[in-house]
Amino acid sequence: MAIQINALYSPYGAYELKSKYQRNLLFGTLSTLAVVALILLVSWVISAMSEEEIFEAPAVVIKTIADLGPPPSVTKKPPQVQVSQPNVAMPKVGIPKPVADDEVLDDDVVIASREELAEIVAPDITEAGNDAPIVVDIADDDFLPAPTDFIAVEIYPEMIFEHVPDYPRLAEQAGITGLVWVKALVDEEGLVRKAILGKTSGVNSLDEAAVKAAYKCRYKPGIQNGRPVKVWVTYKVEFELTN
């Protein structure tokens, strides 16, 4: 008697899985297609919603730097700090008192210009009412500016005559040369009122000869506001041997 065995329901090789694999395959395929379709549907809905909200804003044209506006650090105001005000009593205003007309301040005050101030001169003290002699006891150092004082001047003095100092005999015989810097105070008449050593040459005789000769030099005075003024000048004196 021949026995026919169906290979689908063969007891060998997990026959239960083989009997259901077609159904499982169909279910998996349909599930995958459903998920893909759901994803595509959601993407289409999101894109449709975003297209409705998009609008074209007008373009901003910047032609100058001023159109850029201030930077954020300037526009942003610092936080305000609350400071408690001290308790100060209010001032008591008294009742105004009447004064004479000559004590009232004049509102029509005219301020003198620079030209008018330049025309103002000191009073003539020689026209005193008494016959007492006038003695001016002011030291030169009190009204002569120091070399370190700042003196406002528009036009500096210009040397118009330079007195050549005498070459010291011993220095000339020894063949000594040098460069001396002299500081001279030129007054309103172009005369040297005071001379000092600005920078030494290293030889005392050369320094003394240069300072001594400075008093015999002549200048065009310095000018400030159209008037001559006292001002310090600095110049150099070279001691050279001639063959």
pLDDT of res. 168: 92
Q: Under DSSP, is residue 143 helix (H, G, I), strand (E, B) or coil?
A: helix
E strands present in 109-230: 158-161, 178-186, 192-199, 218-220, 222-224, 227-229
pLDDT tens series, the chain, 243 aa:
444 445 444 555 566 666 777 888 888 888 899 998 999 988 888 877 765 555 566 666 666 666 666 665 555 566 777 777 667 666 665 677 777 776 665 666 567 777 776 666 555 555 555 555 656 555 555 578 888 888 889 999 999 999 999 999 998 999 999 999 999 999 999 999 999 999 999 999 999 999 999 999 999 999 999 899 999 999 999 999 886
Virtual CA dihedral for 44, 45, 50, 53, nearest 10 degrees?
140
**193 Cβ contact partners less than 8 Å away, ≥ 6 residues apart:** 140, 144, 185, 186, 187, 230
Backbone angles phi, psi at 154, to 5 degrees: -90, -40
pLDDT of res. 160: 93
Instruction: Evaluate whether 156 touches 231 at the Cβ level (below 8 Å).
Output: yes
